[in-house]
Every structure is written in C-alpha cells, then in structure tokens.
Amino acid sequence: MTDQRELDRLLGAFFVEGTNELPDRVLDATLEEVDRTPQRRVTRMPWRFPAMNTYARFVAAAALGVLVIGGALYLGGLRQTGDDQSPTPTASATTSANPSQSAQPHAAVYVFTQGAGTAAECGNSTQGGCISRLWVANLDGTGARELIPNQSGCQRFQAWSPDGTRLLFSRSECRWEDHSPDGFVGMTGPERFYLTDASGGAPQVVDTGCVSPCLYEDDAVFSADGLRILFVRTKSVPVSPSASPDPVTGKPAEGTEVTVLASIDLATGRVSELGAFGESGRCGSEWPRSSCPSWSPDRTQIVFTVAAQIVGPEPPKDPAVFVADADGRNVHQVSAFGQGPAWSPDGARILFQGIQYSWTGTWFPGKVVRSSSDIYTVRADGTDLRQLTTDGVSYGPAWSAAGRIWFIRPTVVDGIVQDDGTVQYWVMDAEGSHATQLSGRPPEQAWLLQPTP
C-alpha cells in the first residue's frame, strides 16, 4: 500500500519533469492576437444603492420593481405566443416509467458525462472516464433525469418518432479506450437499436439482423409516417486473398467497408436494403454523434459533416457541411465550417454549430490554434448564411417543432467559461432574436439537445 508520504514524493518528482518556458514564437503570436483584439467595455455603476438617501432608494426601488414586473409580463406574453414552453412544467419527466404517461412529449437531452464511469461499465475501478447516456427533461428544461437508469452501457440518441411519443436510441457496452492520449470510454461490441416510449419504459430491441458481413448500423430516423425506420448499414466486402497487407500495420487486408441505406418495417420486422449510400455521407468513427447526418423532413436528402483535423502536421480544417440526395448523389457543400447540422421542420433551412479554427502568421506543425463556436443557419442550396449567436461559445443547436432553436451555452463569469457543469439551456427564434434562458439546469456536460417533434 502506497502511503500518502510516498505518494506525495512520487507526484512531486513526477511534476518536476516538463516544459518550463513559453516559446518566444507563442508569446509573439499571442501579442499579435492581442493587438487585434478589442477589450471588453465594462460599464460600472456610477452610484451604489446603499449610499443613496432614503427617498432616492425608494424611487430607485420603485423603478426597478416596475422594470422587473414589466419584463416578466413581457416575457410571459412572449412565452404564451410560442409553443416551446410547457404551459405548466409537468412532473411527467421526473416521474415514472408509467406507460400511461408515455403520450406526454418530453424534451430529450443527449448527455456526454465526464467522470461518471462505474466499475461495471468502464472496466476496473481505477478508471474514470466518459460514458454517453440519455437524459430527458421537461420542455422548460426542469426535471432532468436519466431516461433509463437501470440499463447499463453506453447509449446514443438516434431519433424521435414523428408524434414525439417514442424514442429510438442505440446501445452497446462501454469500453475503456486506453490508447487515446487522454483515454476515454468508447462503445464496444454490437451496437443495437432500441425503441422506448418517451418516459423510458420497456425498451425493446429493434432487431435489424446485423450479422456478418454487416459490421454496424447507425444514423437512424423514422419514416415520415412513423411506420418504418431508415438507417445506414455498414458492411464489409471481402477482398482477394492476394490483396496487399496494410502498409502501416502489416496486417492482412480485412476488406472494404461499404455503406447501404436500409429500412425496417416496425410492424413486420422486415428489413430491406434500399441501395448504396454515398461514402462521403458517413459519419464513420467521428464522435460524438453531433457529427453525423440529419435527414430532410421528406427523407429525400441528408445533410452531414465532413470532420476536421485539428491537430497534426497539416493546418487545421474547419469541419464542413454538405447536402446530398439520400442515395449519396448530388453532393454539394452548403457551409465551409460547421458540425451537427439539422434540417428545419419545414425543410427550408439547415441549422448547424459553426466551428472555426484560426491562427496567426504562417502555419507550422504545433502552431497555436484558437477555436470558436456559434450557431448558424443556411438555406439547403448554400445561400443566405446567417449567424445567430456571436458569443463564440454556444453549441448543440436543435430545432423545435415550432421552428425555434434550442441550444446550449456555458455559464460565463468574469469572462471565464465555467467548466463545472454549469451549462444552460437557451431558446431563440429562427432569426436569432428573443434568446431566452430556460429555467431548468441541464445535467452535467449536456452535449446535444433533441426536443420532441
């Protein structure tokens, strides 16, 4: 047993090693950046409330009261005109797996949780890490809870049914990914689709019969009538025994992965492969799911992200957004930067999280790179790009059925993005106006919102 004194000694020695100087090139680049960066303008109150005389306090308090009440009435009026707010925050999300409540729509939250790994799910007890789990909350963001707490493993959101009463997700066992620089818990083994009601009751496997040469299935969505599920199946096509071994690993060639569009009839369980699916449309191994395709409301097109490379010998590339027909043809780029694209309910616009990387001067490997994240929309033909937020930290946008936009914004205090789990739900109009913080507090590390249709 390593006692505390010995542990202190080892850790002290451990931290002696390392880099001790900030390179001049980084300092120079930083100061160049500072030259281009305006300082925030801070308005300080010219007076302090306690220093005022009694009459002035009374007047100020009355004025403040009028402002607060007026503001509340104004916001209340706004909320009544929209349908993103639950009329009364129901207890349905915080209660029950009672099937009788399953028709009550919920707002779903796809959660990326850090440090929540358990011994059962994430290997031995020395390993912390990240597992993805589904959470739900009321439409005002309150009452967040795990959707199916008694189901182990990693869960990923796939789709809501068109009527918002059922939820499709995928599940697999979790695995500690040990050869990553930081380590994280990924998914392993067969990942299967599950269907549950909106309260998380009685999850059932959707058996798509994915056995060899089928490798895995992903990117599922309900058909517009809710009777079928469309999904993307990845299969392995054997190669010739004489094929050359992998030039990097030296291992024998394992075959080529191809993707096909498939569907399953939920009433009969019959699976049909509908045809080849464009290779460029696959989200592949990108993670989290916010990189993956989204289907148009009429299921004839997909919008997807080609992922970026942010560290390495080549300059970073912003992730780009593309649209293609459902068979993978007619690919065209609609944005040079962005991820997590989603079609508006009316099919007119595409919503995405715009991620942009920037650096100063000439690129070289190891160059300092900055990133920003804001919410954008664009027409499906790539025209009329609109930036809806400008704070540089908003992410996870999703459409509501009424065409408003939900998103996540971390709490910022004194210019510092708080990283203690205090992110917030926000909702705004499709034009980016009337941004309102919802009252509920999301669970730790909420990553992607998916409001009910």
Residues 113-172 that bind other proteins (CB under 8 A): 114-115, 124-130
Q: In the bound complex, what is the minimum distance in angstroms from residue 358's beta carbon to other proteins?
A: 11
SS3 23: coil
First to last CA, the chain: 55
Is position 184 an interface residue for other proteins (rule: CB under 8 A)?
yes
Q: Which of 33, 83, 146, 391 binds other proteins (CB under 8 A)?
A: 33
Which is closer to other proteins, CB of 282 or CB of 404?
282
Q: Which of 5, 15, 48, 150 binds other proteins (CB under 8 A)?
A: 15
SS3 393: strand
Q: In the bound complex, what is the minimum distance in angstroms from residue 234's beta carbon to other proteins?
A: 10
Which is closer to other proteins, CB of 103 or CB of 311?
311
Q: In the bound complex, what is the minimum distance in angstroms from residue 402's beta carbon to other proteins?
A: 30
Name the phi and psi angles at 242, rounded to 5: -90, 5
CA-to-CA separations, 186 to 105, 129, 330, 436, in angstroms, rounded: 30, 9, 33, 34
Q: In the bound complex, what is the minimum distance in angstroms from residue 230's beta carbon to other proteins?
A: 19
Beta-carbon contacts of residue 41 (< 8 Å; ≥ 6 apart):
none
Alpha carbon distance 79, 402 (integer Å): 12
Do the beta carbons of residue 177 and residue 184 sit within 8 Å?
yes
Q: Which of 150, 179, 251, 362 binds other proteins (CB under 8 A)?
A: 179
* Token pair belonging to 124: 């031995």
DSSP of 124-178, one letter per residue?
A: STT---EEEEEEEE-TTS-S-EESSTTS-SEEEEEEE-TTSSEEEEEEEEEEEET
Q: Which residue type sits at 448?
A: L
* Token pair belonging to 58: 């009374």
Q: Which stretch binds other proteins (CB under 8 A): 32-40, 50-58, 157-165, 222-230?
A: 32-40
Q: Which stretch binds other proteins (CB under 8 A): 14-22, 62-70, 377-385, 433-441?
A: 14-22
Which is closer to other proteins, CB of 45 or CB of 267?
45
Do the beta carbons of residue 197 and residue 270 sit within 8 Å?
no
Q: Which of 214, 320, 331, 368 binds other proteins (CB under 8 A)?
A: 368
Q: Which residue type sits at 276?
A: A
Alpha carbon distance 126, 39 (integer Å): 44
Binding residues for other proteins restricted to 190-229, rule: CB under 8 A: 191, 215-216, 218
Q: In the bound complex, what is the minimum distance in angstroms from residue 375's beta carbon to other proteins?
A: 18
Alpha helices, DSSP H, located in 24-159: 24-36, 54-81, 119-122
Beta-carbon contacts of residue 341 (< 8 Å; ≥ 6 apart):
294, 303, 304, 305, 321, 335, 350, 351, 352
Is position 267 an interface residue for other proteins (rule: CB under 8 A)?
no
Q: In the bound complex, what is the minimum distance in angstroms from residue 155's beta carbon to other proteins?
A: 13
Q: In the bound complex, what is the minimum distance in angstroms from residue 203's beta carbon to other proteins?
A: 20
Q: In the bound complex, what is the minimum distance in angstroms from residue 218's beta carbon to other proteins?
A: 7
Q: Which of 300, 309, 333, 387 binds other proteins (CB under 8 A)?
A: 309
Is position 5 an interface residue for other proteins (rule: CB under 8 A)?
no
Which is closer to other proteins, CB of 235 or CB of 349?
235
Among 360, 431, 365, 442, smallest CA distance to 396 is for: 442
Which is closer to other proteins, CB of 135 or CB of 395?
395
Q: Which stretch binds other proteins (CB under 8 A): 86-94, 268-276, 400-408, 417-425?
A: 417-425
Q: How many residues lie near other proteins (CB under 8 A)? A: 87
Q: In the bound complex, what is the minimum distance in angstroms from residue 127's beta carbon to other proteins?
A: 6
Which is closer to other proteins, CB of 2 or CB of 240?
2
Do the beta carbons of residue 262 and residue 274 sit within 8 Å?
yes
Which is closer to other proteins, CB of 336 or CB of 401?
336
Beta-carbon contacts of residue 364 (< 8 Å; ≥ 6 apart):
none
Binding residues for other proteins restricted to 61-120, rule: CB under 8 A: 114-115
Binding residues for other proteins restricted to 276-295, rule: CB under 8 A: 284-288
Q: In the bound complex, what is the minimum distance in angstroms from residue 185's beta carbon to other proteins?
A: 8
